[in-house]
């Protein structure tokens, strides 16, 4: 595109205010804004900011400049000897970086079209940088279209760069060159570079949120007794514990609190943190930084202590009280707890592996020491490498002691498994006042199969699995269902201060016969649902979900023993627990039914 007007058009507009017939609307509007300052047309160069102000600007635009660096390097190589240069500017039009043709860059210094020059419209009139700031759109200004006569020696094309999260203007990319040279692709190059920079900024945001999550995982022990929320530098929630919003909502307006936190991306960090502390004075807060720049904040609230009597901790003895199968597992765990060797707890998802691991921790002599769970799927090689080089993780855990619980170690990315092995080795040598650190791992997968398939390191497996405990699925622990129902119902009643939920014998028998594909977690979810929906606090068959009330018909692979148990349970449920009538329907003596009940571990209904 050539300029839409000639030099005499500019002169007539300046002298007589006559609007050129062919002038582009974006140029005309900018000229009319520039008319307010009569001194602009005679300027020889744009103003320059003072050195101390420029140093502050470069620091404030650190993220933009970092995101732009790859695009600037590529463009600098492309434009060398091409009579053009690239300028990166902040949101006020101050040039922070230049690259490209060396002769063009040197010529730009004559007009301060160079580092430190300020190119907003108020400073130098119509130009691509300043007009793009005003319109928030890509702008191309050719030669005589510039309002300042001395700047008409340039052709320029500028594109705004906006924050990918907020849409806020962060800066601009400008392609400039002498007006005597054609630059047909400068606008396209400017827009392409702006898109590249915005994509880099978007990836930056994702990386920062991952860093915040990793930092929380590594330092979770510090806030183990707190409700925690993690906000990124935009005030968006990256993580929050279940009850944080409920607790914080009693203290302040969380929406306003997040708005204050969004200032981390724009304002001095000390000023923002002071406001956050004032808004939620009872919270402890920690600013999270990366390379000296704030990327988020961790907010922690101490959990309230209830006046109601606290429930005793779930020790191995209490867990063992559930039934025969889990009692055997707990006895094995109790013997291993004294050895402090690394333990691998295996079992299906939701079967209670973490509960057992916490029981082992409490059995280890000092239950007040922290129990820290690390989600292995979120570990990265870079983070583990940093922790190993600095020694921070091992040193911190050495001070705190306690138990490290590795959740699903097979989910550790392949490139991080060797580094996790080094961490495990280091932790194995950590001594605290009560002895070495304990490492417990939880796995729902067959790790030996993962080793054979090359998905998991054998040397890491043998470090973690010095001893193994298998937690059977709930379908193999049917005698435990009634105990768990009472436990969860009592826990919910204490937490909400509402009457405890009760289950009829028929409902208990049917629940005991169900296969529980989701294990204990599914059972707990069901109790919580029934607790919320029940009006009379009594659960009968009609209150249970259809898939439990009417179980699927047994297939040909079901064993005779399982089929017999299901028939007995269904018969008892159909007569509301009347064993005499159930025996008659089954065609067996009542004494035989009693033997079958004991054989299958079916709880007998107590009739009042």
Maximum mean pLDDT: which of 279-283, 354-358, 365-369, 555-559? 354-358
- Per-residue pLDDT band for 26 (boundaries 50, 70, 90) equals very high
Which phi and psi (to 5°) does residue 125 adopt? 75, -160
- pLDDT for position 111: 95
What's 513-566 look like in SS3?
A: HCCCCCHHHHHHHHHHHHHHHCCCCEECHHHCCHHHHCCCCCCCCCCHHHHHHH
Cα separation, 126 vs 257, whole angstroms: 41
- pLDDT for position 494: 84
Q: What is the largest CA-CA distance in the chain?
A: 118
Among 8-12, 215-219, 271-275, 316-320, whose mean pLDDT is lowest?
A: 215-219
Tens digit of pLDDT for each residue in 447-473?
988 999 899 999 999 999 999 999 999
Cα separation, 286 vs 270, whole angstroms: 12
Task: Sheet with 139-142: list strands edge to edge.
Answer: 95-100, 85-90, 169-178, 154-162, 139-142
* Residue 294 β-bridge partners: 289
Could you tell me which residue, 396 or 202, shows the higher pLDDT?
202
Which segments within 91-151 are labelled E, that is strand? 95-100, 139-142
- pLDDT for position 359: 92
Q: How many CA atoms lie within 13 A of 567 on its CB side?
A: 16
Residue 380 has pLDDT above 50, yes or no: yes
- The token pair at 153 is 């020696």
* Residue 343 β-bridge partners: 440, 467
Among 161-170, 271-280, 524-533, 572-581, whose mean pLDDT is lowest?
A: 572-581
What's 583-603 look like in SS3?
A: HHHHCCCHHHHHHHHHHHCCC
- Per-residue pLDDT band for 598 (boundaries 50, 70, 90) equals confident
Percent of the chain clearing pLDDT 90 (strictly above): 45
- The token pair at 158 is 């500028």
Q: How many CA atoms lie within 13 A of 80 on its CB side?
A: 6
- Per-residue pLDDT band for 437 (boundaries 50, 70, 90) equals confident
CA dihedral 203, 206, 208, 214 (to 10 degrees): -140
Residue 289 has pLDDT above 90, yes or no: no
Tens digit of pLDDT for each residue in 155-213?
999 999 999 988 999 999 999 999 999 888 899 999 999 999 999 999 998 888 888 87
Cα separation, 35 vs 186, whole angstroms: 28
- pLDDT for position 535: 80
Nearest CA among 583, 584, 506, 488 for reference residue 543 = 506
- Per-residue pLDDT band for 307 (boundaries 50, 70, 90) equals very low
For the chain, the structural domain boundaries read 7-204, 219-302, 316-472, 476-600
Nearest CA among 475, 522, 498, 505 for reference residue 574 = 505
Cα separation, 605 vs 503, whole angstroms: 11
Could you tell me which residue, 524 or 593, shows the higher pLDDT?
524
For all residues of the chain together, what is the average pLDDT? 85
Q: How much is the pTM?
A: 0.51
* 316, 362 Cβ separation under 8 angstroms: yes
* 301, 244 Cβ separation under 8 angstroms: yes
CATH for 316-472, among 2.60.40.290, 3.40.50.2000, 3.40.50.300, 1.10.10.1200?
A: 3.40.50.300
* 441, 406 Cβ separation under 8 angstroms: yes
Residue 527 has pLDDT above 80, yes or no: yes
* 414, 453 Cβ separation under 8 angstroms: no
- Per-residue pLDDT band for 585 (boundaries 50, 70, 90) equals confident
Residue 543 has pLDDT above 80, yes or no: yes
Rounded to an integer, the average pLDDT of 57-85 is: 92
Query: What crossing angle do the helices spanning 254-261 and 269-279 adopt, rounded to 10°?
Result: 170
Tens digit of pLDDT for each residue in 119-147?
999 999 999 999 999 999 999 999 999 99
- Per-residue pLDDT band for 305 (boundaries 50, 70, 90) equals very low
Tens digit of pLDDT for each residue in 400-416?
667 888 999 999 999 88
- The token pair at 559 is 């064993």
Residue 100 has pLDDT above 60, yes or no: yes
- pLDDT for position 607: 46
- pLDDT for position 202: 92
**Following DSSP, what letter does each residue of 461-528 receive, concatenated?**
HHHH-SEEEE---GGG-GGGHHHHHHHHHHHHHHHHT-PPPEE-HHHHHHHHHS--TTHHHHHHHHHH
Which letter does DSSP use for residue 138 in this model?
-
Nearest CA among 441, 438, 466 for reference residue 364 = 438
- Can 7-204 and 316-472 be said to share one CATH topology? no
Which letter does DSSP use for residue 143 in this model?
G
Provide the 10 A C-beta neighbour count for residue 402: 21
Cα separation, 87 vs 505, whole angstroms: 79
Nearest CA among 395, 390, 393, 419 for reference residue 218 = 393
Architecture field, domain 7-204: 2-Layer Sandwich (3.30)
- Per-residue pLDDT band for 556 (boundaries 50, 70, 90) equals very low
* Residue 268 β-bridge partners: none
Maximum mean pLDDT: which of 97-111, 338-352, 541-555, 587-601? 97-111
Residue 368 has pLDDT above 80, yes or no: no
Q: In a 10 Å sphere around its CB, with 0-12 CB exposed, 13-18 middle and 19+ buried, how is residue 417 labelled?
A: buried
What's 3-57 look like in SS3?
A: CCCCHHHHHHHHHHCCCCCCCCHHHHHHHHHHCCCCCHHHCCCCCECCHHHHHHH
Tens digit of pLDDT for each residue in 250-282?
778 888 888 888 888 778 888 888 888 888 888
- Per-residue pLDDT band for 99 (boundaries 50, 70, 90) equals very high
Cα separation, 570 vs 564, whole angstroms: 10
CA dihedral 461, 463, 468, 471 (to 10 degrees): -60
Rounded to an integer, the average pLDDT of 4-25 is: 91
Cα separation, 108 vs 124, whole angstroms: 14
Residue 507 has pLDDT above 60, yes or no: yes
Rounded to an integer, the average pLDDT of 377-398 is: 68
CATH for 476-600, among 3.40.50.11540, 1.10.287.1770, 1.10.8.60, 2.40.50.140?
A: 1.10.8.60
Among 55-64, 339-348, 432-441, 577-586, whose mean pLDDT is lowest?
A: 432-441
- pLDDT for position 432: 53
Q: How long a stretch of residues is the chain?
A: 608
Nearest CA among 158, 114, 119, 152 for reference residue 26 = 158
178-213 core/surface letters (b: 16 or more CB in 10 A; e: else): bbeeebeebbebbbebbebbbebbeebbeebbebbb
Contacts for 78-86 with beta carbons within 8 Å, 24 or more apart?
Answer: 79/175, 82/177, 83/177, 83/178, 83/181, 83/183, 84/175, 84/176, 84/177, 84/181, 84/183, 84/186, 85/175, 85/176, 85/177, 86/173, 86/174, 86/175, 86/193
What value does the CA radius of gyration of the chain take, rounded to a whole number of Å? 35
Tens digit of pLDDT for each residue in 480-497?
999 999 999 998 888 777
Which phi and psi (to 5°) does residue 94 adopt? -80, 125
């Amino acid at each position: 595109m050539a300029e839409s007007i000639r030099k005499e058009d500019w002169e007539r507009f300046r002298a007589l205010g006559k609007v050129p017939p062919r002038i582009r609307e974006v140029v005309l509007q900018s000229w009319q804004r520039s008319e307010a300052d009569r001194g602009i047309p005679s300027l020889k160069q744009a103003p320059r900011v003072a050195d101390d102000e420029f140093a502050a600007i470069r620091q404030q635009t650190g993220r933009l400049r970092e995101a732009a660096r790859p695009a600037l390097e590529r463009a600098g190589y492309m434009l060398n000897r091409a009579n053009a240069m690239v300028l990166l500017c902040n949101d006020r039009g101050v040039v922070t970086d230049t690259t490209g043709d060396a002769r063009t860059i040197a010529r730009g210094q004559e007009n301060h079209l160079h580092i430190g020059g300020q190119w907003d419209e108020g400073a130098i009139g119509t130009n691509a940088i300043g007009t793009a700031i005003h319109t928030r759109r890509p702008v191309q200004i050719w030669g005589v279209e510039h309002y300042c006569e001395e700047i008409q020696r340039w052709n320029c094309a500028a594109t705004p760069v906006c924050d990918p999260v907020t849409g806020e203007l962060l800066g601009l990319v400008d392609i400039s060159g002498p007006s005597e040279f054609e630059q047909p692709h400068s606008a396209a190059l400017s827009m392409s570079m702006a898109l590249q920079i915005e994509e880099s900024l978007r990836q930056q945001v994702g990386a920062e949120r991952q860093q915040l999550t990793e930092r929380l995982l590594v330092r979770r022990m510090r806030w183990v007794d707190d409700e925690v929320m993690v906000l990124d530098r935009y005030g968006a929630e990256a993580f929050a514990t279940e009850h944080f919003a409920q607790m914080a909502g009693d203290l302040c307006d969380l929406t306003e609190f997040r708005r204050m936190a969004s200032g981390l991306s724009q304002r001095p960090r000390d000023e923002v943190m002071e406001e956050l502390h004032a808004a939620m004075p009872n919270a402890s807060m920690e600013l999270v930084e990366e390379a000296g720049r704030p990327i988020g904040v961790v907010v922690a609230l101490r959990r309230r202590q209830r006046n109601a009597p606290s429930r005793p901790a779930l020790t191995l003895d209490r867990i063992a009280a559930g039934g025969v199968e889990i009692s055997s597992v707990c006895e094995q765990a109790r013997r291993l707890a004294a050895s402090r060797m690394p333990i691998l707890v295996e079992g299906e998802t939701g079967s209670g592996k973490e509960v057992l691991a916490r029981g082992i921790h409490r059995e280890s002599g000092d239950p007040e020491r922290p129990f820290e769970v690390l989600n292995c799927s979120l570990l990265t090689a870079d983070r583990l490498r940093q922790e190993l080089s600095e020694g921070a993780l091992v040193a911190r855990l050495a001070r705190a002691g306690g138990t490290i619980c590795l959740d699903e170690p097979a989910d550790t990315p392949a490139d991080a498994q060797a580094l996790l092995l080094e961490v495990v080795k280091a932790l194995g040598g950590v001594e605290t006042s009560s002895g070495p650190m304990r490492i417990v791992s939880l796995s729902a997968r067959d790790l030996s199969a993962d080793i054979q398939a090359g998905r998991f390191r054998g040397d890491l497996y043998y470090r973690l699995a010095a001893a193994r405990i298998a937690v059977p699925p709930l379908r193999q622990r049917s005698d435990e269902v009634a105990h768990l129902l009472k436990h969860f119902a009592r826990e919910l009643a204490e937490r909400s201060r509402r009457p405890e939920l009760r289950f009829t014998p028929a409902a208990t028998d049917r629940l005991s016969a169900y296969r529980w594909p989701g294990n204990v977690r599914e059972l707990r979810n069901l109790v919580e649902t029934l607790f919320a929906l029940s009006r009379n606090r009594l659960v009968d068959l009609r209150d249970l979900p259809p898939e439990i009330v009417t179980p699927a018909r047994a297939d040909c692979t079901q064993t005779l023993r399982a089929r017999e148990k299901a028939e007995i349970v269904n018969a008892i449920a159909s007569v509301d627990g009347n064993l005499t009538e159930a025996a008659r329907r089954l065609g067996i003596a009542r004494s035989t039914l009693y033997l079958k009940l004991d054989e299958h571990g079916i709880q007998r209904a107590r009739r009042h």
